[in-house]
Every structure is written in structure tokens, then in C-alpha cells.
Amino acid sequence: MSYTLVFFDLETTGLDTERCDIIQIAAVCGTRVFNAFTVPRCAITGEASRLTGFSVAGGLLLRRGEAVPTVSLPQALASFVEFLGSFCGPVYLAAHNANRFDAPVLQRMLREFSLLRRFQGAVSSYLDTFLLTKRMLTNFYSYSLPYMVERFLGKTYAAHNALEDARMLQELFQALKPGRNAVMKCLISTQT
DNA sequence: TGCCAGGCCCTCTTTAGGGCCTT
């Protein structure tokens, strides 16, 4: 049975998956793209702000000082679920370190806005590409996304922009060509 | 200044501990 892989990434206010808020949700599947920004409800940590370039001033979301168009968090999440629901199943939602970061944050947000059931109807599993690359490739200096992209695609890119991270993750996956069995071993159910 | 989260993986392991990766 075939499956659809959608590559995604979140930019958030920090690393605490129980408390952080989403700033950017981005996803790619082939040439189809989703990208949404939202004004976070809690403060952006200094480290997250330094890495992503995001800040909030006067109720506006700024990236490196320039205002970014935003929608409300529930609007962003509902649009994301609608985007995911437009693909033929089963749909796997892939992120680098999904198991430990992106999936817990997204699941918590979807539950908060009563969107989890709809999401679970569209997406059967997450795919953790960090686990996948660690299992596929041994004895590497690093398994971070920027390092993997530089090593296998020969590119440096604007890391910590969710859309660029998702695009690079898709390219990396296409370059590495993991087997179906390797992919299946790194899936995490959305039914939590 | 340096610490802050945390499940998985590895190994100098299993009666444990440290590093990784994500923002």
C-alpha cells in the first residue's frame, strides 16, 4: 500500500513542549506548500528569538524587525488540518525529531482547540526523520538537519525558517531514499 | 555565569549515565 509523506516544521517560543507556543507552521508535499504565522500568546525565549529572528512588538509578529502577516492560532491549525486532509491516505507527517518535539507540541495545540479528531482523521502517523537518519547512517558527526543537508545535498540554507526546514527535509529524504521498512520502523501514531 | 525539557540511543550497560535534537 502506498502512502503520502508531508514534511513539516514548527517554529515555537522555546523548547519546553508543555508550555511553548507556535509561531510558524509550514509543510510541503511535492510542490504543494502550507505556511502560516501566528502571534504567540507567551513570551519568546531569548535563545528562540536569536535563532529564528522572531519577536513581538505592539501585537505584531516581527521577523528580523519586519512585520509578518499572521492569522489566529486556531485559524492556522484549522487551515493546516484542512491542508493535510486534502491528500490521499495514509498520510505520514514527517519532521526532524518529531517524536520529541514537533509531535507533542502539535498534539497539545490540536487538543486545546478541539481539532485533534479531525487531524487524526487526516494523518495516521508522524515520521521521525531524526530517528530514521540515526538508524540508517552510523558514525556521523551530527544528525542535525542543517548538518545532514550540508553533507548530503551540499547546501547551506536558512535554518529555523519552518518553510525552508520543511523543504530541505523533503529534499534530504528524496536524496537518502530510505526503504519502506526503515520508514515503517520510525512511525509514531497520532492516536495519543 | 550557567542553567533551563526529555525520550531515545549508545555503551566503558542492564542495580546507569551521558549526549543528542528540537526552539
Q: Identity (one letter) of the amino acid at A101?
A: F
Distance CA A165, CA A173 (A): 12
**What's the CATH code, domain A4-189?**
3.30.420.10
Task: Choose between A67 and A186: higher pLDDT.
Answer: A67
Q: What is the pLDDT of residue A160?
A: 86
What backbone phi and psi angles, to 5 degrees, belong to A64? 50, 40
Q: How far is the CA of A32 from the C1' of B3 (A)?
A: 41
**Stretch (H or E) spanning A168:** helix A162-176
Q: Which residue is nearest to nucleotide B19 (CA to C1')?
A: A142
Which residues have CB atoms below 7 Å from chain B, the nucleic strand? A 9-12, 14-18, 23, 45, 47-48, 51-52, 96-97, 99-101, 130-131, 134-135, 142-147, 159-160, 162, 165
Domain boundaries, chain A: 4-189
Q: What is the pLDDT of residue A93?
A: 93
C-alpha cell at A178: 530510505
Q: Does residue A104 carry a pLDDT above 70?
A: yes
Q: Does residue A106 carry a pLDDT above 90?
A: yes
C-alpha cell at A3: 502512502
Q: What is the pLDDT of residue A156?
A: 84
Q: How far is the CA of A104 from the C1' of B10 (A)?
A: 24
Residue in the block written with cell 491528500: A87
- Share the mean pLDDT of chain A: 90
Protein-contacted bases of chain B (C-beta within 7 A): 4-10, 20-23
Other CB atoms within 10 Å distance of the CB of residue A2: 7
Q: How far is the CA of A71 from the C1' of B18 (A)?
A: 42
Read off the pLDDT of residues A7-58 as tens digits, 9 standing for 90 and up.
Answer: 999 999 998 888 899 999 999 999 999 999 999 999 998 888 988 999 999 9
Read off the pLDDT of residues A134-170 as tens digits, 9 standing for 90 and up.
Answer: 888 877 878 899 988 988 898 887 778 999 999 999 9
| Secondary-structure breakdown of chain A: helix, strand, coil percentages, each rounded to the nearest 5 | 40, 25, 35
Name the pTM for this structure. Answer: 0.90
The residues facing A127 across adjacent strands are A94, A187
The pLDDT confidence band at residue A1, using thresholds 50, 70 and 90, is low
E strands, A22-157, are 22-29, 32-37, 54-57, 60-63, 66-67, 91-95, 125-128
Q: Does residue A78 carry a pLDDT above 80?
A: yes
> Angle at which helices A162-176 and A129-136 pack, to 10 degrees?
30
The DSSP call for residue A189 is E
